[in-house]
Amino acid sequence: MTRYNYSSGAPWEDKVGYSRAVKVGNIIEVTGTVALNELNQVVGVGDAYAQTRFILEKIGKVLESAGSGVKDIVRTRMFVTDISRWEEYGRAHGEVFHDIKPCTTMVEVKALIGPEYLVEIEATAIINS
């Protein structure tokens, strides 16, 4: 099978050696994604809902470039720095996935790549043939 790598231009991709997403066959894996825009600016500083919403839109864009979309997501993993704010993360996730209902996990972590990031999200999509 052919492998396709997709980049978002994040500064860490080349330093760490990873892709924003990798597509093999009908499976697309999206790497951990934080609320960093194309100008390398943090989006939604201090706002768990805004960061989650932005990240899910960013994931949707890379999936579209791979011929897919959020409708094909079967699993998300949310790494959060404060689990007590679960409703804020969950509200944004629920708005996007209300009818799709992928498997999901929300785990509190000690820290992310920078203190301004409140959430990092991974996703797995399977394109229906």
Taking alpha carbons only, the member of 74, 39, 28, 58 closest to residue 119 is: 58
**Nearest of 116, 105, 94, 93 to residue 40 by alpha carbon:** 116
Which pLDDT tens digit goes with each residue over 54-78? 999 999 999 999 999 999 999 999 9
Closest C-alpha to 60, from 104, 14, 93, 107 = 93
The domains of the chain, with CATH numbers, are 3-126 (3.30.1330.40)
Cβ atoms of residues 9 and 61 within 8 Å: no
Smallest CA-to-CA distance from 23 within 4, 42, 46 is with 4
pTM for the predicted model, two decimal places: 0.94
**Distance between CA atoms of residues 15 and 10, nearest Å:** 10
- For the cut 80, the answer to whether the pLDDT of residue 95 exceeds it is yes
